[in-house]
Amino acid sequence: MAILSGKNILLGVTAGIAAYKTASLVRLFIKAGANVKVVMTPASKDFVTPLTLSTLSQNPVYSTFFDKSDEEDEEWNSHVELGLWADYMVIAPATANSLSKMANGVCDNLLLAVYLSAKCKVYFAPAMDLDMYQHPTTQLSIEKLQSFGNVFIPPATGFLASGLLGEGRMEEPENILSFVENDILRGMPLYNKKVLITAGPTYEAIDPVRFIGNHSSGKMGFELAKQAASLGAEVYLISGPSNETISNSQVNRIDVVSAEEMYNEVHKYYKQVDIAILSAAVADYKPKEIAVQKIKKATDSITIELVKTHDILASLGKEKTSQILVGFALETNNEIENAKAKLNKKNLDFIVLNSLQDSGAGFKGNTNKVTIIDKFENITEFSLKSKAAVAEDIFNKILQGIYA
């Protein structure tokens, strides 16, 4: 899952024996693509060293308001800046002492000052002995923190440092990572939605070595898939031949070559999705006959009879029930009129118009310039942008339609 990719995670470590697990937790956050900074209470350094966490996070570890390594040039560690830097804050382990202070606004160390300054969502994973965890004051602290909007990661049941068996041990790092990712995912606008996206060209075989194709790179479709996944959707990305790559467990990539293969795969998934965006440049025609052997250059000219391929977008428009269906139109003249005609003929909710007259738009490049026309023929024009930004604009339009 790439939910945390590029996100800033502030890990708060308090003084419990479970602090030794934070080395693994930092490593897991880094592996998930997050940027990690660590703030420790002074006493927590008795359980895990700042050097360990600094090495793993590739950032300095903070535990005091001033860095006193150089008394002539003391450096202020701003709790406000740390709180603003974070997209998410995770306090693990969270001892009974720290939970009580957090719940009652006590601010006697840097970690608590950062917590009180944080604007982001805060997760806390308690760790303590069984009787401490069950004590009414601890339970009251947990309830108060949840009432403030903080997210409680329940402790596990098992052997505790005291030798007792029961509830109170900090959840394992792998489960904390999974808990945070799933909680973030549930809050995303396309959570529990399924999105089908087509990308790239199709290749229509002439003989075993030659084909009819086009210049589509698949970049736009892949950016759409990344954006859909970042919004919490489960994505089916059906791609023709493309050098583009994607690494996200929310994206299921299905590779095809021909228009016939794309047609079959699209119809395999269409009935189960909520949104379908067909950005692939599908061949309109294919050779009627495919030569079994390579065609030799024996004559000055050759005639190849072409027949129409399936119109995938039109076929989906006919089958559409509750899906939002989005098509693309690449035009060279009478752009708006042609796009509107395609929008209505194929029963689309939106059509994304590209014009080859616009510099920086079209195939292969990293930028695009689009106009979106909805089913009511409202027209929204956008400036030249990166294809990633265009994908964001397209999904903003879709979300406006869903939540209007």
User: Which of 248, 230, 292, 274 has the alpha carbon at shortest distance from 87?
Assistant: 230
Rounded to whole angstroms, how far apart are CA atoms 48 and 99? 20
Report the b/e string of 307-323 with b at 16+ CB within 10 A: eebbbbbeebbeebeeb
Residue with tokens 């002995």: 129
Catalytic site includes residue 368: no
- For residue 10, give both structure tokens: 């502030």
Instruction: For 31-188, list the strands marked E by DSSP.
Output: 35-40, 61-62, 66-67, 75-76, 88-94, 121-126, 151-152, 156-159, 165-169
Going through 116-186 in order, the beta strands assigned E by DSSP cover: 121-126, 151-152, 156-159, 165-169
Q: What angle do CA 35, 39, 44 make, to 5 degrees?
A: 130
Whether 170 and 178 have beta carbons less than 8 Å apart is answered as no
Catalytic residue among 214, 264, 344, 396: 214
Distance CA 329, CA 352 (A): 6
Catalytic site positions:
214
